[in-house]
Structure 1
Amino acid sequence: MDVRKKLEILADAAKYDASCSSSGGQRKAAKEGLGSVEGMGICHSYTPDGRCVSLLKILLTNFCIYDCQYCINRISSDTARARFTPDEVVRLTLDFYKRNYIEGLFLSSGVIKSPDYTMEQLVEVARTLREVHRFQGYIHLKTVPGASKELIDAAGRHADRLSANIELPTETDLRKLAPEKSFAVTGETMKEISTRVARSKAEREESPKAPKFAPAGQSTQMIVGATPTPDAAILDTASRLYSRFGLKRVYYSAYSPIPLVDARLPAKAPPLVREHRLYQADWLLRFYGFRVDELAPPEHPDLSLEMDPKLAWALRRRESFPVDVNRAPREWLLRVPGMGVRTVDRLIRIRRWHRITLADLARLRVPLTRVKPFIVTADHRPTGLLDSPRLAERVTPPATQLSLFTAAHEARTGEL
């Protein structure tokens, strides 16, 4: 099979992996090197400052010894198979870079022979790019749960980011649909990466010349909608992963129905807006001080599809509002629908000099229709707005504007 045909198969197979991000990469090109994370650059990811970085996103192979029922590449699937050699991946990466198509590589793989054998192949790609071709672009490697510590250590020395997929939100889900995998094995891999990242940071504080280990940290992915597990359990698993292993991101991937589906799997994909709401809730957990039981309480274990989780929480807690933007502490301002971290920090600086008015909020591009029922300013006090039975309709953007207002604005700025 020629390389072009392999690329067609393995690039398509990689589309199911959502955890493709270059966020956090700071590797700069050396004079004698090739490529850079820093410049604009086939998968598009965004760095924390909003720059677009294009990555070649492929699998080393879609052969796999596991039989995960939700996966198109499982051993019992009749999908077309292909496999790159490490040298072919290296050549593809360099050729795509030289044509200015990409700025880096995202490389995953099905498990062939064993976790260690697969990990050796992935590490060889990264090692050859770095040591032989002096490639300074971004590299994201999938780590295979169960691979040896020595191979994980080698992967982290060459890759900017590592990731080990948790796959499903609970151990029960894994036992049902992927019995060859377990939280314990994946957790050990995540723990090893976390320990090495922390050790590397400590060593570099003592000596800036100490080698880096996965400087952009680690991430993981969970499939959403393959099982009836509610959003509360999904977010609880994500919260524990963040606190235990210091993950940079948990990615949520809506289940995509596949041919010859197992009877235990749903016939239809979940609505994509559910995936979007989980990302919003994840952001609130990490940067806004919310707890899982606030966003998805026992009486409402699934997030609302009609409104974002912060607004849904505010409507359940109307007695906590309105909040005086001139007096309220930062943690309460962050809970006002429509006000994000950047806006709140600016307001706190401004109010040291004069009292905040609606005009100040307008200059900061705060969506006034959305926030007015929940705040008090020097020239505004909501009278009866919070008691309105149609408040949710008034402050929720029309569904037709979701991709424009919510997805673009929140994904880029984090203003929820």
Structure 2
Amino acid sequence: MRKAIIDKLTILAESAKYDVSCASSGSTRQNNSQGIGSANRWGICHSFTEDGRCVALLKIMLTNFCMYDCAYCINRRSNDIERATFSPRELAKLTIEFYRRNYIEGLFLSSGVIKNADHTMEKMLQVVKLLRIEHHYHGYIHMKTIPGASPELIYQAGLYADRLSINLEIPTEDNLKQLAPEKDHQSVYKPMHFIQQYALESKEERKKHRHAPRFAPAGQSTQLIVGATDETDRDILNLTSILYKRPTMKRVYYSGFVPVNEYDKRLPIVNEVPRKREHRLYQADWLLRFYQFNVHEIVNENYPTLDLDLDPKLSWALRHPHLFPVDVNRASYEQILRVPGIGVKSARMIVAARRHSALTVNALKQIGIVMKRAQYFITCRDKLGTTVQEFTPEKVRLALTTRTLSSETLPAQFSLHF
């Protein structure tokens, strides 16, 4: 591989690492005898960057030149950093070479904005078309959509890419204007609407015509920066809840603010990236998507921020001790799903297993529930120990957040099951 290409790869892969809105495919794209690669909905290989971020695919920018001067972005036009640009043909060839060497199984393509949104989208679209048409590549492609791009280019992108994404970045319009005066949320929401419209039209068309083209079969995603501005977790999750009401929105990603431009006085001074807050937001996100929680149950006026010491599900349970303990042999699936330490798969297995016999502690352990947390919130055929109401939420919290506890602090039942 030529040194010039390696140098570009080094610069543009580094520039792309702060965009976390990529993951496993969620898309099936079957290969045929005339092409290479394939994508399936169970996902693809993941790797990890030096700072611990999970990265799927070849994560690369077409260029890190950018016409915008966003305070939070390493690629802002006023930064004195190394710049590079791939030609569409160079990047398509690089992707194929990496795939054939078994380095990657797909592509995550992003770019700085050069000249204008449509010019940038056209260049990115050339890369994807070269891969699909000239190289007959059937692997997974996630392509970023440029804010303000025309509907025609978005439609073409969706015919070739498996997933499209466009980042809101800052959760509220006012704060976005402070850090990125040249941007607005409307230029993001419009492409989001176009992606949704084309995807739904494609779905309806395929009901009538089996071989009609699919549009972005893995849906769309977006990313929010956490900690660069003063939004509370309540503000962020309320926005997330609204976004998930869009039928094609598959994932909202949360990126802890990284102070890459510490000289900009508009940005907060942080000693470390708010990883724990980012983690709690992802856990709350799962409660919204898979655990049938309403956003107001997780965060509200009384609890606008997530508890950093407890996962959101456990925090909610401790605020509602009157709903527990839950009898796993009689409670509904929905009630069991809300027990700390019981996941979606475990809840389904409990409902299925109890049809044959009453569940015991050993049976629950075999199913895989986390007894360390669940024991305070359930009852079964056996005696489990002290429930949250008997032990009080405060003591349960202390027990689950303190690593070393004296036996004098806890009843015998707790020390036995901890």
TM > 0.5: yes
Asked if 1:123 is matched to 2:125, the reply is yes
Q: Which residue of 2 aligns with 1:350?
A: 353
How do 1:317-396 residues align onto structure 2 when only pairs under 5 Å count? 317-380=320-383, 382-383=385-386, 385-386=388-389, 387-388=391-392, 389-396=394-401
8 A Cα contact 2:254 2:282, kept in partner: yes
Residues 199, 248 of structure 2: 8 Å contact kept: no
Task: Note if contact 1:41-1:53 (Cα within 8 Å) is conserved in structure 2.
Answer: no
For 1:347-398, what per-residue CA distance to the aligned partner results, in whole angstroms no more than 9, with x for missing partners? Answer: 1111222222212101112111210110111223654543343211334595
**Residue in 2 aligned with 1:195?**
197
1:296 pairs with 2:322: no
Deviation at 1:228, TM superposition (A): 1.6
Alignment of 1:7-406 (within 5 A): 7-38=9-40, 44=47, 54-268=56-270, 269-380=272-383, 382-383=385-386, 385-386=388-389, 387-388=391-392, 389-396=394-401
1:414 is matched with none
Q: For the residues of structure 2 that align with 1:58 and 1:123, how far apart are their CA atoms?
A: 14
CA gap of 1:99–1:383, structure 2 versus 1, over 3 A, is closer
Q: Which segment drifts farther, 157-166 or 382-391?
A: 382-391
Separation in structure 2 between the aligned mates of residue 126 and residue 97 of structure 1, nearest angstrom: 14
Distance across 2 between alignment mates of 1:177 and 1:43: 32
Q: What's the RMSD between the two structures over aligned residues?
A: 2.1
Question: Mean Cα displacement is larger for which, 347-356 or 126-135?
Answer: 347-356
Letter in 1 for 2:334: E
Distance 1:57 1:118 in 2: 17
Deviations 1:316-355 (A, max 9, x none): 1111111111121121111100111111111111122222
Q: Which residue of 1 is the match for residue 51 of structure 2?
A: none
Which stretches in structure 2 are left out of the alignment for 5+ residues? 49-53, 405-418
From the superposition, tell whether residues 345 and 396 of structure 1 become closer, same or farther in structure 2 (CA, over 3 Å): farther
Letter in 1 for 2:345: R
Q: Which residue of 1 aligns with 2:407?
A: none
* Letter matched to residue 115 of structure 2: K
Structure 1 alignment gaps of length 5 or more: 46-51, 400-416
Shift of 1:70: 0.5
- 1:224-269 residue CA offsets vs partner (Å, 9 max, x unmatched): 1101211110111111111035310000001100135321211214
Q: Please give the secondary structure, in 2, of the residue aligned with 1:229.
A: coil
- Partner amino acid for 2:25? S
Contact kept, 8 Å, 1:22 with 1:140, in 2: the verdict is no
Residue in 2 that maps onto 1:3: 5
Alpha-carbon offset, residue 207 of structure 1: 2.1
CA distance in structure 2 between the partners assigned to 1:295 and 1:5 by the alignment: 46
Bigger Cα displacement from structure 2, 36-45 vs 149-158: 36-45
- 1:30 positional shift: 1.2
Greater mean alpha carbon deviation, residues 264-273 or residues 109-118: 264-273
- Secondary structure of the 1:252 match is strand
Q: Figure out how many residues of one structure are paired with residues of the other and give that number.
A: 393
Change (3 A) 1:289 1:397: farther
Superposed displacement of residue 41, structure 1: 6.8
Identity of aligned residues (%): 50
- Amino acid across the alignment from 1:216: A
The answer to whether the 8 Å contact 2:72/2:261 transfers is no
TM-score, with structure 2 as normaliser: 0.90
The residue type equivalent to 2:172 in the other structure is T
Conserved? CA contact 1:53–1:102, under 8 Å: no
SS at match of 1:89: helix
Q: Which has the larger radius of gyration?
A: 2
Q: Tell me the SS of whatever aligns to 1:243.
A: coil
**1:394 aligned partner, one-letter code:** A
Q: How far 1:79 moved relative to its partner?
A: 1.6
CA distance in 2, matches of 1:85, 1:397: 55
Deviates more, 1:282-291 or 1:178-187: 178-187
Tell me which amino acid in the other structure corresponds to 2:333.
R
